Amino acid sequence: MGKNRGVERIASIFAIFLLLIGTVSTIYVYSFREEKQAGNAIIINGVEYDMNEIFSSFEKKYINEFSGILLSDLINETSIQSPENHEYAIIGADGYTKTVKWGDMKEGILTNERRVIFQNLPRQFWIRDVVKIEVK
């Protein structure tokens, strides 16, 4: 009987330890996410653009129930030469990244909620809390 209680105590301590690790990890991830979202800007090819200015400068388009500005319009307004010859890494605040081609950028929108939605790609390419678009 004494061995069973010892095993139960060790199992309980181990379970509490795992819960603490999970809690600390969650707090860390959310604090990092909020830190990245703090500003109202998006970085495109190393240049910071204000989201309010972006959305007041472009015509809204619709994909299903989502509205936003075409990613291709946004890229065309930057100083990127021959945008059709590049790939684009879209990066969320949590570090989630997907790389797409120019043809995909022409089919995608950036919403006011900082989401990228693609009409022609599966949902795993839809990125939330976009903070950066890198040109490759």
pLDDT tens-digit series, residues 100-136: 999 999 999 999 999 999 989 999 999 999 999 999 9
Give the model's pLDDT for residue 31. Answer: 62
Q: Please report, for the chain, the start and end positions of each structural domain, with discontinuous segments joined by +.
A: 1-38, 41-135
CA distances from 65 to 95, 100, 127 (A): 26, 22, 16
Total-model pTM = 0.69
- What token pair was written down for 27? 């707090």
Tell me the CATH number for domain 41-135: 3.90.420.10
* pLDDT given at position 34: 44
Residues of the chain with pLDDT below 70 are: 1-3, 30-39
Q: Are strands 41-44 and 66-70 parallel, antiparallel or unpaired?
A: unpaired
